[in-house]
Structure 1
Amino acid sequence: MSAPIKATELGQSDAQYALGTRLIANQDQAEGDKWIKQSAELGNKKARKYLNRSV
């Protein structure tokens, strides 16, 4: 398992946000939103800002 994927599964909000934005850039909006939402729930400010802007 790659380090970034393991970090997201371990609840590292920065890694979750990065994965989410990468997925969205690659046209996987639903999966990207899932990871960004998880990141926001852990308190990631960038993820919260993204979700507030998206609503």
Structure 2
Amino acid sequence: MNKTCPNCGALLIKDAWETVETNDNGSYVFKSYLALKCLQRCGYYERADQNDQE
């Protein structure tokens, strides 16, 4: 099943997404996960759930 972007209607593609968090002590935590991103790069993304990771 193809999902479409709720912002612009383009297809969402599987990709990786990373976040960086800064702790109170100044250290960093890098987190990465699978995500669905807008093919037209409008900025929309959502975390992929287990069903999307096939």
| Between structures 1 and 2, the one with greater helix share | 1
Q: Which of the five TM-score ranges fits, normalised by the shorter chain? A: under 0.3
Q: Mark the structure with the bigger radius of gyration.
A: 2
User: Could you state the TM-score of these two structures normalised by the residue count of structure 2?
Assistant: 0.25
| Between structures 1 and 2, the one with greater strand share | 2
User: Could you state the TM-score of these two structures normalised by the residue count of structure 1?
Assistant: 0.25
